[in-house]
């Protein structure tokens, strides 16, 4: 059910000073994440809706895989539910394991270059098309690696500095 190459051995630890819910043996939750990219290279970030963990933080849209779903199936469902769009091909890109205080998640990032429909913020979130460096804050910890990957791909001058 995973997309792209295997994750690095050590997870990215978010808010390391906070306790981990479920302890050290908690299960990994697979999440499909859509990195929507316009022809000019801008990418879509959405804010986490009110009432969710990390509400107000900016992230790439997506959501948890349901039982029996592939990453692409989950991404199609989630982006339709959250944004009201129908995506074309989802290209598996990278996988990142992130240890948040509330959950251990495997983020399966897929690039999406084609979609139809107008963006609708169906969960009370907001959206912003961004370029590097991003102008929105705060950025969800699991989003930061993607910004670094974009910086490296695009030979962004600030790649060795903060991209958030």
pLDDT digits (tens, 9 = 90+) for 93-131: 999 999 999 999 999 999 999 999 999 999 999 999 999
Mean pLDDT of 121-149: 97
Give pLDDT, residue 25.
87
Instruction: Tell me whether residue 159 is in a domain.
Output: no
Specify the higher pLDDT residue, 150 or 155: 150
Output the domain CATH number for residue 24: 3.90.79.10
User: The whole model's pTM is what?
Assistant: 0.89
Give pLDDT, residue 23.
84
Instruction: Tell me whether residue 4 is in a domain.
Output: no
The answer, yes or no, to whether residue 36 has pLDDT greater than 90, is yes
Domain of 144? 12-153
Instruction: Tell me whether residue 41 is in a domain.
Output: yes
The number of folded domains in the chain is 1
b/e per residue 120-150 (b: at least 16 CB within 10 A): eeebebebeebebebeeeebbbbbbbbbbbb
Burial class (CB in 10 A: 0-12, 13-18, 19+), 14: middle
Cα–Cα distance measured from residue 42 to residue 20, given in angstroms and rounded to the nearest whole number: 35
Instruction: Tell me whether residue 158 is in a domain.
Output: no
- Which pLDDT band holds residue 158 (cuts at 50, 70, 90)? low
Mean pLDDT lowest among 13-17, 104-108, 154-158: 154-158
């Amino acid at each position: 059910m995973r997309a792209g190459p295997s994750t690095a051995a050590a997870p990215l630890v978010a808010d390391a000073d906070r306790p981990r819910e479920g302890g050290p043996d908690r299960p990994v939750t697979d999440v499909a994440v859509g990195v929507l990219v316009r022809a000019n290279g801008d990418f879509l970030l959405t804010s986490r809706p009110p009432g969710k963990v990390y509400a107000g933080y900016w992230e790439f849209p997506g959501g948890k895989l349901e039982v029996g779903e592939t990453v692409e199936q989950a991404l199609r469902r989630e982006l339709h539910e959250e944004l009201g769009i129908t995506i074309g091909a989802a290209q598996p890109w990278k996988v990142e394991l992130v240890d948040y205080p509330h959950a251990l998640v495997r983020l399966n990032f897929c690039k999406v270059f084609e979609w139809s429909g107008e963006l609708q913020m169906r969960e009370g979130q907001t959206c912003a098309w961004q370029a590097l460096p991003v102008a929105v804050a705060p950025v969800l910890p699991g989003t930061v690696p993607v910004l670094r990957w974009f910086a490296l791909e695009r030979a962004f001058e600030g790649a060795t500095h903060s991209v958030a």
